[in-house]
Amino acid sequence: MSSSKIEELKKQRTKQLRKRKNQLPYARVVTVVALLVYIVLINYNLKFSSFWIIGILMGVTMQRARFCFTAGFRDPIMVGSTSLLKAVLLAFMVSTIGFFIIQYHAVLMNPDYLLIDIPGQLKPVGVHTAFGGILFGGGMVIAGGCASGTLMRIGEGYMLQLVVLMGFIVGALIGSWHFPFWDRLLISQAPVIYFPSYFGFFPSLIIQLVSLGSLYFIADWYDKKNNIMKMM
Amino acid sequence: MEEYKLDCLYEACPIPLLKALKQLKKMEIGDLLIMHTDHNCSIRNVVEWTKKQGHEIDYIEIAEGEWEIYIEKVK
């Protein structure tokens, strides 16, 4: 609830405002175009059509939810609020269960499965993972958006992120150009660690869910603690 | 009661919130802060942060993709 002062100010400002443009016609045109592209793609390439529709749905969800990975990892440190971090953790829990179903299903089909046959991206983990994480994290906090956030903000018309997109493209090009060097030096030397091959499928599902759950409670506690501390 | 204005147009994500924090510290109880921003993240994180601190807050969209956030310092 807002106070009477704010209510008065709001009323006063609303009167002064010019009437806003109705954006619904644009929305209708864009929706029709998106559906047409979808229909064309279904006939042409089923995979592309799924990417198209999943991408659009993801973008809409992120924009409407004002979801932001950058803020999820930055806000706990900067302002002590963890609501987005908790959302990220919840998303991890949901995707853990989803991947469990997909991978368990794949293994049931083929009992003597190989690590490389598991659906999903299994990559070597090592120093390069941590180093890349630090680079990416620093970059996204300075740029005010990670990859998905940047694209989503350009879509909603926030022009500043276009500059970020240019840097993003240049960086990705340079990255793929000297990737073979790092791959030879570090990445191909590092081991691929896949928990289900050590603990089995069900135990590793439980372990992952329990660790994510405890992180969630720590985040929740941190949020409340910060609340009380700053109340003075 | 004083009114303060804060221009946060074209500022990247956490800057509007950090500007608001700084300004709120300088203000007296009962003062009003009017933020002008074009970043929809500010709506989310400024509103959430301010509510958590116990101040009064509300906002309106004044043009396409531009908002005014009103904050009253309560304590």
Please report whether residue A44 resides in a domain: yes
A121 vs A40, residue with greater confidence? A40
Please report whether residue A38 resides in a domain: yes
Report the residue from A1, A14, A18 with minimal CB separation from B60: A14
Which range marks the domain in which residue B37 is found? 3-72
Q: What sign results for the dihedral spanned by CA atoms B70, A162, A148, A20?
A: positive
Task: Express each pLDDT in B64-73 by its tens digit.
Answer: 788 889 888 8
Question: Domain containing B44 — which CATH number?
Answer: 3.30.110.40
pLDDT at B47: 87
Q: Using an 8 Å CB-CB cutoff, list chain B residues near A66.
A: 40-41, 43-44
**E strand or H helix that includes residue B8:** strand B3-8
User: Which of B17, B43, B50, B70 is the mutation pick for testing A, counting most A CBs within 10 A?
Assistant: B70
Angle between helices A201-229 and A83-109 (to 10 degrees): 180
Domain count, chain B: 1
A95 vs A113, residue with greater confidence? A95
Report the residue from A9, A157, A160 with minimal CB separation from B70: A9
Q: Is residue A113 scored above 60 in pLDDT?
A: yes
Angle between helices A46-65 and A147-156 (to 10 degrees): 80
**CA of B50, closest CA in chain A: separation in Å?**
11
Are A104 and A201 spatial neighbours (Cβ–Cβ below 8 Å)? yes
Residue A33: band (very low, low, confident or very high) from pLDDT cuts 50, 70, 90: very high
A19 vs A193, residue with greater confidence? A193
Domain count, chain A: 1
User: Which of B51, B52, B55, B57 is the mutation pick for testing A, counting most A CBs within 10 A?
Assistant: B52
Residue A2: band (very low, low, confident or very high) from pLDDT cuts 50, 70, 90: low
- Which range has highest mean pLDDT (A88-92, A190-194, A195-199, B58-62)? A88-92
How many other C-beta atoms are found inside a 10 Å radius of the C-beta of residue A229?
9
Q: Do B13 and A144 touch (CB under 8 A)?
A: yes
B37/B12 Cα distance (integer angstroms):
10
Alpha helices in chain A (DSSP H): 4-16, 24-44, 46-65, 69-78, 83-109, 127-143, 147-156, 160-177, 179-185, 196-199, 201-229
Residue A62 one-letter amino acid: M
ipTM over 0.90? The verdict is no
Report the residue from A9, A68, A78 with minimal CB separation from B32: A9
Please report whether residue A15 resides in a domain: yes
A152/A158 Cα distance (integer angstroms):
9
Distances, alpha carbon A94 to alpha carbons A22, A65, A102, B14, in Å: 37, 17, 13, 28
Percent of chain B clearing pLDDT 90 (strictly above): 0
A50/B36 Cα distance (integer angstroms):
39
Cα dihedral A51, A56, A57, A60 in deg (nearest 10): 160
Closest by CA position to A161, among listed B67, B13, B65: B13
Burial string for A161-197 (b: 16+ CB within 10 Å, else e) reads beebbeebeeeeeeeeeeeeeeeeeebeeeeeeeebe
B12 vs A51, residue with greater confidence? A51
Closest by CA position to B57, among listed B45, B66, B65: B45
Place of tokens 């958006």: A145
Please report whether residue A190 resides in a domain: no
pLDDT at A227: 64
Q: Using an 8 Å CB-CB cutoff, list chain A residues near B17.
A: 79
Which range marks the domain in which residue A40 is found? 1-65
A227 vs A95, residue with greater confidence? A95
Please report whether residue A191 resides in a domain: no
User: Three-class SS of residue A22?
Assistant: coil
Please report whether residue A82 resides in a domain: no
Q: Do B68 and A23 touch (CB under 8 A)?
A: no
